[in-house]
Amino acid sequence: MQESPRQVKPDAQQIATITRLLGREPRGLEAVAVADAAGRPRVIRVASLVDGKPFPTLFWLVDPDISYRLDQVEAGGLIARLQQQVDSDPGLQAAMAADHRAHIALREQHMTSQVRAEIERLGFSAVFAQRGIGGIEDFTRIRCLHTWYAAHLVAANTIGALVDEYFASQRD
């Protein structure tokens, strides 16, 4: 499912689609990070400050088909199974930590100097320096496949790759 990210300012049609998919107007929407071949948003990039509050989740999955598949596998216990795999493999733990650090750096690249200054003024610099994919602070925990997979569609990561492997095994 890996796609080439094309982060562009959303047009009116994409905003309408995102609004419909979310069931509300998107707040903090900065870009369509990944779109399908027809231009339909799959992943959006969200601002680090939304309505003056910190929002460390950089990428948000809006593709309804992928979201539904992830809902199903989460309900079926995939997070627990993957977490057991991670807990027993120091290599996976190290890879996840590297994914979080890369995500923190990517989020930092998308911040303007004004946003960075406001985050510092509000006292949230440590939050953004210490929280990775999906705002996770413990770099060995999975918590939510949706945030991991949204980030994976933009820049491949360990948990997204494990989900891809799981999906591939279900097709066989």
| Phi and psi at residue 53, to the nearest 5° | -120, 150
| Interval 5-36: pLDDT, tens | 457 789 899 999 999 999 999 999 999 999 99
pLDDT of residue 4: 38
Q: Cα torsion at 22, 24, 27, 31 (round to 10°)?
A: 40
- Amino acid present at 26: P
pLDDT tens digits for 76-89?
Answer: 999 999 999 999 99
Question: What confidence score (pLDDT) does residue 172 get?
Answer: 66
Every domain of the chain and the residues it spans: 12-171
Residues of the chain whose pLDDT is less than 70? 1-6, 172
